[in-house]
Structure 1
Amino acid sequence: MKYSDLALAVIFLFSFLSANAQNITLSREDLIAITAQWEGERFADGRPKVKDNILERMKKISLEQAWSVLRGEGYPHQYEENWKNIHSGETLVGRVLTAQYMPLRKEVRELLEKKGVKDGRIGDMVSWPIDMLSKGDVYVADSYGKVENGPIIGDNLGTSIAAKSGNGVVINGTVRDLDGLREIPGFTSFIRGSHPSYQQEMMLTGINIPIRIGSVTVLPGDIVLGKLDGVIFIPPHLAEKVVKTGELVLLRDQFGHSRLREGKYTPGQIDGRWTAEIEKDFSMWLKKNIGDLPVPKEEIEELLKTRTW
């Protein structure tokens, strides 16, 4: 017997709820299990907690650099395009807190709301994930692209999100009060669109569970990097590697561009495999400009220790 996708989703949901009697989130043990490659600090609920300085340095990394590292590590499906950035040109970086929405099934929503009351949750379901945000988080929600009667936040909830996380959102769906959201400082957000209506005939089916955003499977604790109209989701155990690799590429690009402007090397020399002479020149350039480069001084000093030129 074959089940439809919706039937399978409902079967999974009831199974999940039965196993998690008090809430609609994964247990700490389950969160640790699905992010087992992360060996660093965690939040109380088990979500990976990538260090603040890695998040700050991530802002300078390009989507291309991050994508290249992830693909090389066996993660080819982490990038999603065609977003609307409500603060055009600004960058979004933070630790992911996920939320999953589905079309309303009244008997399922009634069960979810009862469990929410038992778990001490307050207000409508759309506020539950927001109550769980911490500084440095990004609220990432799949509202399945619903437009009319689909917006899950407006400027009131957006203000609360910004106050709790210091960040904006990634919503695979729509928002309302777009003018008001744009006025919130630092609320760099990636959305599919906006609509003047508000969410109806929807239900929140999971918080801090694996969700699908377009072609990407997103886990709680992933690091989101959003720029221009693209968003990439970085597994937490690869965040530092993405930063360090990206910083090296950034330095090499800056050096290469500088030497090309000076006419010291040809495009073919810089764009191809560097000779020992160019590598030595790069090392000397790093030492000379160490205090003026867009990478922490201590990281450049560590890099220089590994170089023999």
Structure 2
Amino acid sequence: MKACFLYFSLVFYLFINSTLIAQTMTREQMIEYTSDWTGGRFEDGRPKIPDSYLERAKNISIEEAWGAMRGQGYYNQFEGDWIMIHEDMPMTGRALTAQYMPTRPDINDIITKKGAAEGRIGASNSWPIDALQQGDIYVADGFGKIIDGTLIGDNLGNAIYANSGNGVVFDGSLRDLEGLERIEGFNAFVRGWDPSYIKDMMLTGLNTPIRIGRATVMPGDLVLAKREGVIFIPAHLVEQVITQAEFVALKDEFGHLRLKQAKYTPGEIDTKWTEAIKTDFLNWIEENQDKLPMSKEELANYLKTRTW
């Protein structure tokens, strides 16, 4: 019995020291858990998705991205039912993740001391902000807390925008809506607004896998946030998902045009295309190169794997 107790005490000690105290994944762990990504990385190990993909992602739809990921077996990457500052302002960026839990004094004391030893400044809800890079989106699991769950106000909002040029996705709440509205280019997807200050919450994970509603989020995921919801695209799927979504959008534009022209019936367009329609579509693309959001090389590579 004593040996069993000592064993579980050791396991608990290692758990506390490897996760809660460390607060973050090591670079080696980050690389291991995102090993399918073969591109560049930040110093902390997060995948560094090129800025060009962040811009292109703004023009794809949630449905197209969702469908492309489901085809790869990723079924838990979308979460809806958000309140936002600007409904007409899509937001894309690389996820920097944070996990919060209800405060437990003994654990929080250790976290605070560890943070001080690492040179972290201020309350723990400011630590993720200090880690932001340009193009990041601060994504936090605030366990849906509204009252006393306000992770930031307009002061921290200004710091977030200064560090990232972006906004936030919080499964929690914010305060100072009027002040945040005045930060040009900043947007927030949250569960609610409240005038209270953050209380009884502690930061238990920084740049670790987190849960946002029904979605699992990894640091470095591409975040696509639009009025209908937020979708998290694993870094190694970004090129494929964006190219496929762009192709589907082109296909839809062509199909809508030909339906308006009564050249094809809905039954012909809304099913597997015949060789004649495929040829017509590819000729239309050649005649409308200015509509291509991807390069001709990317399109050619994609068409090699397209099953129509």
Aligned to 1:205: 204
Aligned to 2:50: 51
Asked if structure 2 preserves the Cα contact closer than 8 Å seen for 1:48 and 1:236, the reply is: yes
Aligned to 1:169: 168
Instruction: Report how far residue 209 of structure 1 moved.
Output: 0.7
Instruction: Give the alignment's Cα RMSD to 1 decimal.
Output: 2.2
CA distance in 2, matches of 1:63, 1:12: 42
1:137 and 2:133 aligned? no
Equivalences for residues 62-73 of structure 1 within 5 A: 62-73=61-72
In terms of mean alpha carbon deviation, does 131-140 or 51-60 score higher? Answer: 51-60
Asked if structure 2 preserves the Cα contact closer than 8 Å seen for 1:21 and 1:115, the reply is: no
Equivalences for residues 1-309 of structure 1 within 5 A: 15-19=14-18, 23-291=22-290, 293=291, 295-298=293-296, 302=300, 306=304
Instruction: Report how far residue 303 of structure 1 moved.
Output: 5.9
Instruction: Report how far residue 12 of structure 1 moved.
Output: 8.6
CA distance in 2, matches of 1:228, 1:38: 29
The 1:303–1:290 alpha-carbon spacing in structure 2 relative to 1, beyond 3 Å, is farther
The 1:45–1:207 alpha-carbon spacing in structure 2 relative to 1, beyond 3 Å, is same
CA distance in 2, matches of 1:214, 1:184: 27
The 1:31–1:297 alpha-carbon spacing in structure 2 relative to 1, beyond 3 Å, is closer
The 1:304–1:215 alpha-carbon spacing in structure 2 relative to 1, beyond 3 Å, is closer
Asked if structure 2 preserves the Cα contact closer than 8 Å seen for 1:286 and 1:300, the reply is: no
Aligned to 2:3: none
Deviation track 1:75-94 (CA, whole Å, cap 9, x = no partner) reads 11111111112211221111
Instruction: Report how far residue 40 of structure 1 moved.
Output: 1.1
Instruction: Report how far residue 265 of structure 1 moved.
Output: 1.6
Deviation track 1:32-62 (CA, whole Å, cap 9, x = no partner) reads 1111111111111111111111111111111
Identity of aligned residues (%): 50
Instruction: Report how far residue 122 of structure 1 moved.
Output: 0.8
Amino acid at match of 2:157: G
Structure 2 counterpart SS, 1:68: helix
- TM-score where L is the length of structure 2: 0.90
Amino acid at match of 1:144: F
Asked if structure 2 preserves the Cα contact closer than 8 Å seen for 1:290 and 1:300, the reply is: no
In terms of mean alpha carbon deviation, does 106-115 or 293-302 score higher? Answer: 293-302
Deviation track 1:192-231 (CA, whole Å, cap 9, x = no partner) reads 0100001011111110011111111211111111111311
CA distance in 2, matches of 1:263, 1:172: 47
Instruction: Report how far residue 300 of structure 1 moved.
Output: 6.8
Asked if structure 2 preserves the Cα contact closer than 8 Å seen for 1:22 and 1:118, the reply is: no
Gaps of 5+ in 1: 1-7
Asked if structure 1 preserves the Cα contact closer than 8 Å seen for 2:49 and 2:94, the reply is: yes
Asked if structure 1 preserves the Cα contact closer than 8 Å seen for 2:170 and 2:189, the reply is: yes
Asked if structure 1 preserves the Cα contact closer than 8 Å seen for 2:224 and 2:231, the reply is: yes
Asked if structure 1 preserves the Cα contact closer than 8 Å seen for 2:98 and 2:210, the reply is: yes
Deviation track 1:207-265 (CA, whole Å, cap 9, x = no partner) reads 00111111112111111111113111111111111001001101101111111222222
CA distance in 1, matches of 2:12, 2:193: 29
Tell me which stretches of 4 or more aligned residues in structure 1 moved more than 2 Å.
Answer: 11-17, 19-23, 296-307
CA distance in 2, matches of 1:278, 1:233: 34
Amino acid at match of 2:237: L
